[in-house]
Chain A
Amino acid sequence: MIDTDRIVGSDRTARPVQRDGRPQRRARLLPGGLRWILPGFAISVGLIYYSIVYSGYLSFFDWPGGRALMTPVGFQNYLTALQDPVLWTALRNTLIYFVVVFVVQVAGGTLFAAAMHSKVRLANLYKVLVVIPVVVAPATLAPAQIQVWQSDGTVNRILGFFGLSSLEQSWIGQSTTSLLVVTLVGCWGAIGYGFILIYAGMSQIDPELIEAGRLDGAGNFRVLFSVVLPSLRPIIVSLAILNFITALKLFDNPWLITQGGPAHSSEFLGTMIYGETASTDRNLGYASALSILVLVVAVAVSIFMQLRGRERVARARGRRKELADV
């Protein structure tokens, strides 16, 4: 009846095509959308925006909190931040963390979700196990993770068991490997998270498309790449944005496991901000300046990702149309 892959959603750049090749006129959107987005908008913006403005205001002062003096310092906090080598280490860590965790989350989440959509025994058990790192709070699992990565912990013992004793080292205690530990722990939690969302997203995929792919002789992995992943593009773009924002303000796991150390090697902006508010001679103005930097970078990069994502949706849909035409 309605050919679902001929009609594009609310994307403005692509024009759907009717069977005879003429462009179809865009389905008109219903007016009056404002009242629909207002409740969500009012709650999130209303409550949080005061905090944003407050932080923006504070960032121009030096202030330890309480009744101590608030000294106006203009842009000094921002300058100090941008000249602090620890900030640049944190940004580098953020980038590495983001790329690794995002790729692992999408790959792992998709593979798991695909497996769960197939005929597998004990599917429910696997679904629960993968999700437990998400369900249980990071603060709870951190002691267990710390145990695993100790010099006499599980990882080193496994390495020894497989005869790789030369690789045994103090994973948490070396500035070269501390980021690795934080990133791997992050991946561990991210896969279950991605699984939950991608599993739901897969339900939207038209089974006919997959059948069509198989009839064309495509194997499991070809189907995954050419049919499943492109259909999941919107979720993947959203996950990219979320992962970037998370990586930027990352706090829980690095703080609980390495506290940003040793010697700032696994520092993130989130741990820097927390460290500043946690310190006994803190400067809440500096912490606010860091938060504003996080906000600006996060929004800028997210908008960029969304725009790139839109182009690819259009291109991917065009490509799929070609595939189906063949």
Chain B
Amino acid sequence: MMRKRFLAAAAVAAAAALAITGCTGTSGDEGSDVKPATSGTVTWWGWTPDTPVADSYIKEFNKQYPNITVTYKNFENVDYRNTITPALDSGKGPDVFDLSPAGGSPDTWGPYALDLTSLAKDTLGADWKDKIGGNYVTQLTSSDGRFVSLPLGGMSAGFLWYNKDILDKAGATVPTDYTSWVDTCKKVTAIGKTCFTMGAGGKDTFPTDMYHSIANTVDPDFFIKAATGKAKWNGAEGVKVLEIIKKMKADGIIASNALDGPQYPLANNEFMKGDAAMVQMGFWYTQYAGAESCKASMEAAGVTNPTCFVQLPAAFPDVAGDGHKSTFFGEADYGLAINSGSKNIGAAKTFVSWMTMKNEGQQNVANALDLLPALKGVTPDWSNISLVNDAVQRPAIETLIKDSADTTESRQWQTTEKTLDAIVVAIQQVLDPSVNKSIQSIADDQQASSVASKVGTK
């Protein structure tokens, strides 16, 4: 009797499960013909930007379109992925949502979004693809050729940021190769500061940027080849990268607390507190050269009454010593997608095209010094930006922007998450004093755990 009741209940539940999952919403481009509207409400969900930044973008938008109300909801990365899917499936999703190139997102969430090709054509003209920088359009196109997300901005990495005040005080110079780096570090540690702060603990993939930069000095093509399965992580180059990392720790470049935590907050806080001379961060770190944001981030790191230091970018030193300059790498950071089931497609189209394809919208992105604007030809309006030290930082940042825009190598777009995780694990095993494996066997394990990416290899 009990058993029957239980089995019946289970069967009902199973049937319900099948019925509900079988129920897919509409996936289509019916919204393509809807014209951009000048009034309405738009809900926007994303893991980025931070709420205060989004609110400032929206405020600017409302200056031109006062009758469109936009509300932004910020989610932490993982919460976002867990929430957006059931929300979109049940028809309760937002009108506009973030969609990035990472991990096949265009294929996972693209089917919920409109194909924005027509919107782009209408706004930028027939040559719209040439007006958008980088490889961003390809990166946000799904495998069935639908352009599902308009890029808001891109990012670049593969360089260092240094605290000029510390280097000056230590009488050290910006390192350009391995020996000069060891030398600089000796001088910096002599005045009681950390030389190169890094947080490689946990699961964050920031350490892969360092691997990538070192790999580029060993062999400029190695990283992408290995990521896409055309080379092996445990080949001679890969082993050399790991050996260099090990040496960097032994020679005092990488600090002994590198595994105490992830890059945020460990490395960030150390740098922002003014306790470290150098850190490897990407373009998003440019914003802390600003006079106000510098103070805010120093306070967030726990400094009372902070005085800002001068932060400047530097190329990653040629640690392999073979004369290969370490090049930058980057890709679209994220774009905005329009929910094809939205009831406010018109207003959404106005908002999205303003943010991503209009000069006023992209100017905001450029001025924030957080992303590289997707629209070509938009540069920061320096009259509205005050840096800690304009004379020194502004030319450096302008060069950084130009070099970043010229980069053709991707950062994580062509690397699967499993590969990124394998790199992090390998770095951790190299830096962990309690691990006794040989570099070759660490590299072998890394190769075994990696999964080659097929993206961008046609």
Which A residues fall within an 8 A CB radius of B? 49-50, 53-54, 57, 64-68, 143, 146, 149-152, 169-170, 172-177, 258-264, 274-275, 277-282
Given A170-B260, A174-B434, 10 extra CB contacts under 8 A: A49-B10, A53-B17, A64-B107, A66-B85, A151-B260, A172-B259, A173-B260, A277-B81, A279-B421, A281-B417
In terms of DSSP, what is the predominant structure of the interface of chain B? helix
B193 → chain A closest CB, angstroms = 14
- Contacting residues, chain A, for B261 (C-beta < 8 A): 146, 150, 172
In terms of DSSP, what is the predominant structure of the interface of chain A? loop
A277 engages B78 (CB within 8 Å): yes
B419 → chain A closest CB, angstroms = 10
Surface stretch bound by A, among B108-116, B229-237, B310-318 = B108-116
A259 engages B202 (CB within 8 Å): yes
Q: Complex: how many Å from CA A57 to CA B103?
A: 24
B265 → chain A closest CB, angstroms = 8
Pick the most buried of A67, A172, A176: most chain B CB atoms within 10 A of its CB: A67
Q: Given A53-B13, A53-B14, are A151 and B102 also a contact pair (CB < 8 Å)?
A: no
Q: Complex: how many Å from CA A30 to CA B200?
A: 62
Q: Complex: how many Å from CA A275 to CA B421?
A: 11
- Contacting residues, chain B, for A53 (C-beta < 8 A): 10, 13-14, 17
- Contacting residues, chain A, for B262 (C-beta < 8 A): 259
A278 engages B81 (CB within 8 Å): yes
Q: Complex: how many Å from CA A275 to CA B82?
A: 12
Which B residues fall within an 8 A CB radius of A? 9-10, 13-14, 16-18, 21, 24, 27, 77-78, 81-82, 84-85, 88, 102-105, 107-112, 200-204, 256-262, 265, 416-418, 421, 425, 428-429, 431-435
B259 engages A277 (CB within 8 Å): no
B208 → chain A closest CB, angstroms = 13
* Residue of chain A at shortest CB distance from B105: A280
Q: Complex: how many Å from CA A234 to CA B102?
A: 51
Q: Given A53-B13, A264-B425, are A67 and B257 also a contact pair (CB < 8 Å)?
A: no
Q: Complex: how many Å from CA A64 to CA B257?
A: 35
* Residue of chain A at shortest CB distance from B101: A280
* Residue of chain A at shortest CB distance from B107: A68
- Contacting residues, chain B, for A262 (C-beta < 8 A): 200-201, 259, 425, 428-429, 432
Q: Complex: how many Å from CA A64 to CA B102?
A: 13
Q: Given A57-B18, A263-B435, are A66 and B112 also a contact pair (CB < 8 Å)?
A: yes
B200 → chain A closest CB, angstroms = 8
- Contacting residues, chain A, for B110 (C-beta < 8 A): 67
B111 engages A66 (CB within 8 Å): yes
* Residue of chain A at shortest CB distance from B257: A151
Q: Complex: how many Å from CA A281 to CA B100?
A: 12
Q: Given A263-B428, A281-B418, are A174 and B433 also a contact pair (CB < 8 Å)?
A: yes
Q: Complex: how many Å from CA A152 to CA B340?
A: 52
Q: Complex: how many Å from CA A176 to CA B434?
A: 6
* Residue of chain A at shortest CB distance from B255: A151
* Residue of chain B at shortest CB distance from A260: B203
B14 engages A277 (CB within 8 Å): no
Q: Complex: how many Å from CA A175 to CA B436?
A: 11
- Contacting residues, chain A, for B21 (C-beta < 8 A): 54, 57
B414 → chain A closest CB, angstroms = 12
* Residue of chain B at shortest CB distance from A264: B425
A57 engages B108 (CB within 8 Å): no
* Residue of chain B at shortest CB distance from A66: B108
* Residue of chain A at shortest CB distance from B262: A259
- Selected from A57, A152, A260, A275, the residue in CB contact (under 8 A) with B257 is A152
A180 → chain B closest CB, angstroms = 12
Pick the most buried of A64, A143, A177, A280: most chain B CB atoms within 10 A of its CB: A280
Q: Complex: how many Å from CA A149 to CA B431?
A: 18
A258 engages B432 (CB within 8 Å): no
- Selected from A57, A64, A172, the residue in CB contact (under 8 A) with B104 is A64
Q: Given A67-B24, A258-B202, A262-B201, are A173 and B108 also a contact pair (CB < 8 Å)?
A: no
- Contacting residues, chain A, for B200 (C-beta < 8 A): 262
Q: Complex: how many Å from CA A82 to CA B201?
A: 26
Closest 5 A-B residue pairs measured CB to CB? Answer: A280-B103, A173-B259, A67-B111, A259-B202, A151-B257
- Contacting residues, chain A, for B416 (C-beta < 8 A): 281
B429 engages A65 (CB within 8 Å): no
* Residue of chain B at shortest CB distance from A54: B17
B112 engages A67 (CB within 8 Å): yes
Pick the most buried of B17, B88, B110, B421: most chain A CB atoms within 10 A of its CB: B17
- Contacting residues, chain A, for B204 (C-beta < 8 A): 259
